[in-house]
Amino acid sequence: EPEVTQTPSHQVTQMGQEVILRCVPISNHLYFYWYRQILGQKVEFLVSFYNNEISEKSEIFDDQFSVERPDGSNFTLKIRSTKLEDSAMYFCASSGQGPYEQYFGPGTRLTVT
């Protein structure tokens, strides 16, 4: 069964460093998303991406964040200068023809020290 994959599973970085989180969505999907879950809190929407551009973003997704689909298979989230409060589990998701069912990857746990 097709699934969303994410790498790395765990990333530790120092405050101020840039990180890139990588995702491979399900191959025939057209809509891509990033969410995050700070420990003990709810899952929060960050950004959606369709047709090679951002279709919606939350107030969390400020200038420090960017997304890219560099090729036909990968979807990345970059944080330019990490802060302690960026520590969270980051989930990538994708959906098919219509943005109904979103399928989530296993997540990348980002720890900023």
Partner 1 sequence: AQSVTQLGSHVSVSEGALVLLRCNYSSSVPPYLFWYVQYPNQGLQLLLKYTSAATLVKGINGFEAEFKKSETSFHLTKPSAHMSDAAEYFCAVRENTDKLIFGTGTRLQVFP
Tell which one of 17, 55, 74, 111 touches partner 1 (CB under 8 A): 55
Residue 55 token pair = 């279709």
Determine how β-strand 10-13 pairs with β-strand 108-112. Answer: parallel
Considering only the stretches 14-22, 42-50, 63-71, 73-81, report the one whose residues sit in contact with partner 1 under the rule CB under 8 A.
42-50
Q: Does 58 bind partner 1 (CB under 8 A)?
A: yes
Least Å distance, CB 42 to partner 1, is: 5
Tell which one of 7, 43, 64, 66 touches partner 1 (CB under 8 A): 43
Residue 11 token pair = 């990333």
All residues at 6 or more sequence positions from 45 whose CB lies less than 8 Å from its CB, including other chains: 33, 35, 58
Cα distance between residue 35 and residue 13, in whole Å: 19
Residues near partner 1, by CB under 8 A: 4, 31, 33, 35, 41-45, 48, 50, 55-56, 58, 91, 93, 99-107
